[in-house]
Amino acid sequence: MAKYVPDIKTQRWVIISPSRTKRPYEEENSESKIQNSELKKQNVCPFCPGNEGMTPPEVYRMGTGAPDQPGWEVRVVPNKYPITDIHEVIIHSVSDTDDIEELSLEQVTKIFTAYRDRYRANQEMGQVMIFCNHGLGAGASLNHPHSQLVVVPNQINLDAVEMEPINNVVEENTNFVTYCPDFSQWPFEVWIAPKIKEKRFGEVTDTELPDLAKVVKDGLKKIQIALSDPLNATLYEAKHLVYNYYIYHGKNWFLRIIPRAIHRAGFELGTGLSVNVMDPTKASEWLVKAGKPEG
């Protein structure tokens, strides 16, 4: 059971969630390492088709077949190690390795359809946060690409930035625009916003979903290309693409991608101020130059 503790001004909250410590890290310097190397030897991934019995019963699937049997294309299950009382895992595809950058546009559209549908299914329960941790350095505990959905009670004040003005545009299509806001806290941070404002994520239509999938996939590919340029490789530590993205939970939704090429240090932790070594105007120039990757 999660416990919510406010700071003395009740502006910020911490969630005390002991059940998170039992997570099955695949590569971690702890006792779980032994257990996980065992799992690896047996090649058992709870998110791969055929292993449906290893997760709690599914709450949603796209594709064919009976519940908790193979045939699915996107599968949603409750998290075995929840942060809050409602915590779901959205398994991106049957592939154990390919994520949004590599998956087909059709598959990415299915992932975003699942996000939208699960947002709708949970929105009466509280504030719905959808996020993706890609790569072990970004907090992912299992390699098989997946996202998470966490519901936070409405009375808990979330310390989340709201949509920033659109400038430094990287790409746009009929329904969405990709940009690097002047208020960028991280190098190559990328925001994706719908052209129609005042909406919640749950209001995204079926017609808009492929457009959304396209700009997210393009955005991640462009970040990957920009970060792999030797000029940036000297600045950033990431050898593999490591990132988080999340969808703003409230009105005026947007999707924010944060590449985790650098680490936050003492000054930032102590002051709440971010130091960004990459000017967002320059970042957007880099990303535009990264071309228009194939869909």
State in angstroms the smallest separation of the CB of 89 from Zn ion: 12
Binding span for Zn ion by CB under 5 A among 82-90, 92-100, 191-199, 245-253: 92-100
State in angstroms the smallest separation of the CB of 136 from Zn ion: 15
Do 59 and 88 meet the contact criterion of CB atoms below 8 Å apart?
A: yes
- Check residue 47 for interaction with Zn ion (CB under 5 A): yes
- Residue list 70-89, contact with Zn ion (CB under 5 A): none
- Check residue 2 for interaction with Zn ion (CB under 5 A): no
Which residue sits closest to Zn ion, CB atoms considered? Answer: 45
Judged by CB, which is closer to Zn ion: 114, or 278?
114
State in angstroms the smallest separation of the CB of 145 from Zn ion: 9
How many CA atoms are closer than 13 Å to the CA of 114, on its beta-carbon side? 30
- Check residue 39 for interaction with Zn ion (CB under 5 A): no
Do 154 and 126 meet the contact criterion of CB atoms below 8 Å apart?
A: yes
Cα(149)–Cα(133) distance, rounded to whole angstroms? 12
**Binds Zn ion by CB under 5 A, chosen from 69, 80, 96, 229:** 96
Report helix, strand or coil for 211.
helix
CA angle (214 as vertex; 99, 126 as ends), nearest 5: 75
Burial class (CB in 10 A: 0-12, 13-18, 19+), 15: middle
Binding span for Zn ion by CB under 5 A among 46-54, 100-108, 178-186, 261-269: 46-54
- CA-nearest of 115, 86, 91 to 103 is 91
Binding mask 209-248 for Zn ion (x = CB under 5 A): ----------------------------------------
Element containing residue 214 per DSSP (H, E): helix 208-227
Place of tokens 């087909």: 104
Judged by CB, which is closer to Zn ion: 47, or 236?
47
Burial class (CB in 10 A: 0-12, 13-18, 19+), 197: exposed
Judged by CB, which is closer to Zn ion: 95, or 276?
95
User: Hey, what amino acid is at 61?
Assistant: R
**Binds Zn ion by CB under 5 A, chosen from 39, 45, 105, 125:** 45
Do 190 and 179 meet the contact criterion of CB atoms below 8 Å apart?
A: yes
Q: Single out the catalytic residue among 87, 134, 146, 249.
A: 146
State in angstroms the smallest separation of the CB of 216 from Zn ion: 21
Cα(126)–Cα(136) distance, rounded to whole angstroms? 29
Binding mask 129-148 for Zn ion (x = CB under 5 A): ---------------x----
**Binds Zn ion by CB under 5 A, chosen from 48, 225, 262, 288:** 48
State in angstroms the smallest separation of the CB of 31 from Zn ion: 23
State in angstroms the smallest separation of the CB of 48 from Zn ion: 3
Asked if 134 is an active-site residue, the reply is no
Phi-psi region of 291 (alpha: psi -120 to 50; beta: other; left: phi over 0): left
Phi-psi region of 65 (alpha: psi -120 to 50; beta: other; left: phi over 0): left
Judged by CB, which is closer to Zn ion: 110, or 116?
110
In the complex, the residues that contact Zn ion under the rule CB under 5 A are 45, 47-48, 96, 144
State the catalytic residues. 146
